[in-house]
Amino acid sequence: MANLVPPHGGKGLTCCLLEGAELEAEKQKAEGLKKITISPREEGDLIMMGIGGFSPLTGFMTKADWKGVCDNFLTADGTFWPIPVTLSTDKADADSLADGEEIALVSDSGEIMATMKVTEKYEVSDADKKYECEKVYMGEGTETAEEFWKIAEEDHPGVQMVMEQKDVNLAGPVKVLSEGEYPEKYPEVYLRPAESRKLFEDNGWSEVAALQLRNPMHRSHEYLCKIAVEVCDGVFIHSLVGNLKPGDIPAEVRVKCIDALVKNYFVEANVLQGGYPLDMRYAGPREGLLHATFRQNYGCSKMIIGRDHAGVGDFYGMFEAQTIFDKIPAPSDPGKALLCTPLKIDWTFYCYKCDGMASLRTCPHGKEDRVMLSGTMLRKGLSEGTPIPDHFGRDEVLEILREYYAGLTEKVEIKTHSAATGDSK
């Protein structure tokens, strides 16, 4: 019998999604409540609370939670959590709400996604937002806050997301009424944590490694997965199907690429593909921790962490997303600690002299013999129509991607950075 890692927080899967008669009654009640429009990022967070992906969270964070997470990676009750999960609104709407009032949370498209009991309102000034950005998004790639702010507001999508938040955060428990478009749009891959756990158990897997994907799988991703397959019972290729930054490749194209790769280059019994509904935050090391936290809820005991996990530009140091796992607090209650541990893998590449995939730990040759693999460089080459180096990606995957880029009427400039080009090595 499979013995999977328990959900994060010590309370099992905490699912806020209503079903059946309870759902219908709450939907009817929601029609008469004051409505607050939420951002796409907040919508994704809400759905994750609905399906248990953000266990043990059952609502948006209080000020004490927000500050504890920013400062110490801990919520007010001492549970490990790496990135604030907050809901903002403008001051006029916040002032119109009474303490304890129930409200309806509405998506950009007008769908009522949830109801929420407002237990706390707290202002977030520009100084507070900058504080959050420096704590959560400023990595070792920029040495000082002054250096960080010279480029962050223009070049860091996660920082932009925080700074564009409204002036007041609302905290309180939620009742989730919808999973949005995801179940219908991605029926083959969209999974709730209870469903992935059942599939792992049916396969007899106990030790499961997760691969985080926001780019199409290239040879380096394939190699990382195969390393994990050798040391674990199975690998969960888990793609983000929420929103990305301009220029990133949409989820349906990436899913098609993964299908082609798994079908042609893996023992399919050892791999499971899934999708989850969050937007990328591009928080580098902190996001690596978040990815491990919710992968624990999906049933994964290992998180594959490479050289620049969830990075953007040169904001983060090489392998900072690995070393941060060694610095996080260990709560006194083991159930509140992060139990999904990193599978740390060195910089990987194709080496002509080794005649195969290798890493800095296994290959003795020089940079001139290596094909540095990066999702950014792959997107840049495909977008600009330049030749893709041999051994960068599998032919079946490149064919799908070329077809996608050929159909684009507008292209976004893809900026490169040292992690993508190999210039830092």
Please tell me whether residues 351 and 303 are part of one structural domain.
yes
Residue at 401: amino acid letter = L
Tens-place pLDDT, residues 306-320: 888 988 889 999 999
> Is 418 or 206 the better-scoring residue by pLDDT?
206
* Residue 138 domain flag: no
Catalytic residue (one of 169, 215, 270, 297):
215
| Counts of helices then strands in the chain (DSSP H, E) | 16, 15
Cα 92 to chain center, whole Å?
32
Same domain, 116 and 224: no
- Would 129 be classed as within a structural domain? no
Do 113 and 194 belong together in one domain? no
Same domain membership, residue 387 and residue 335: yes
In a domain, 2, yes or no: no
pLDDT band of 289, cuts 50, 70, 90: very high
Mean pLDDT of 292-316: 94
Domain that holds residue 224: 187-421
pLDDT at 413 > cutoff 70? no
- Same domain flag for 199 and 102: no
Q: How do residues 57-72 score in pLDDT, each as one tens digit?
A: 999 999 999 999 999 9
Nearest alpha-carbon partner for 307 in 258, 265, 362, 346: 346
Q: Which pLDDT score is estimated for 42?
A: 97
Confidence class for position 420, pLDDT limits 50, 70, 90: very low
Query: What integer pLDDT is reported at residue 415 of this predicted model?
Result: 56
Tokens 């749009």 sit on residue: 185
CATH code where residue 299 lies: 3.40.50.620
Distance of alpha carbon 422 from alpha carbon 425, whole angstroms: 6
Same domain, 230 and 343: yes
Give yes or no: 297 in active site: no
293-324 core/surface letters (b: 16 or more CB in 10 A; e: else): bbbbbbbbbbbbbbbbbbbbbbbbbbbbbbeb
Give how many domains the chain has, as a whole number: 2
In this predicted structure, which of 1-15, 150-164, 195-209, 378-392 has the lowest mean pLDDT? 378-392
* Pair 147, 27: CB distance under 8 Å: no
pTM: 0.93
pLDDT of residue 392: 84
DSSP codes joined into one string, 153-210: HHH-HHHHHHHTS-SEEEEEEEEE---TTHHHHSTTTB--HHHHHHHHHHHT-SSEEE
Query: What secondary structure does DSSP assign to 296-358, as a single string?
Result: HHHT-SEEEE-TTTT--TT-S-TTHHHHGGGTS---SSGGGS--PEEEE---EEEETTTTEEE
Query: Is it the case that residue 132 has pLDDT exceeding 70?
Result: yes
Q: Among positive and negative, which fits the CA dihedral 326, 328, 331, 335?
A: negative
Asked whether the beta carbons of 257 and 219 are under 8 A apart, the reply is no
DSSP SS3 for 5: coil
Contact present, 280 and 310 (Cβ < 8 Å): yes
Q: Which of 60-64, 77-81, 277-281 has the lowest mean pLDDT?
A: 277-281
**Active-site residue, 215 included:** yes
Instruction: Choose, from 41, 192, 214, 295, the residue flagged as catalytic.
Output: 214
Same domain, 384 and 324: yes
Across the range 415-420, mean pLDDT stands at 51
pLDDT band at 385; cut points 50, 70, 90: confident
Where does the pLDDT of residue 379 fall: very low under 50, low under 70, confident under 90, or very high at 90 and above? confident
Instruction: Flag the least confident range among 146-150, 311-315, 388-392.
Output: 388-392
Same domain, 268 and 286: yes
| Inside any domain, residue 240 | yes
Are 223 and 320 members of one domain?
yes
pLDDT in tens, 154-210: 999 999 999 999 999 999 999 999 999 999 999 989 999 999 999 999 999 999 999
Same-domain check for residues 207 and 117 = no
Residue 72 within a domain:
yes
Assign 406 to helix, strand or coil: helix
Answer yes or no: do 96 and 234 share one domain. no
CATH number of the domain bearing residue 64: 3.10.400.10
Which segment of 163-177, 241-255, 329-343 scores lowest on mean pLDDT?
A: 241-255
Task: Please give the pLDDT value at position 414.
Answer: 55
Strand partners, 304: 343
Residues 365 and 337 in one domain: yes
Nearest residue to 308 via CA among 393, 214, 226, 222 = 214
- What contacts 380, CB < 8 A, 6 or more positions away? 386, 414, 416, 420
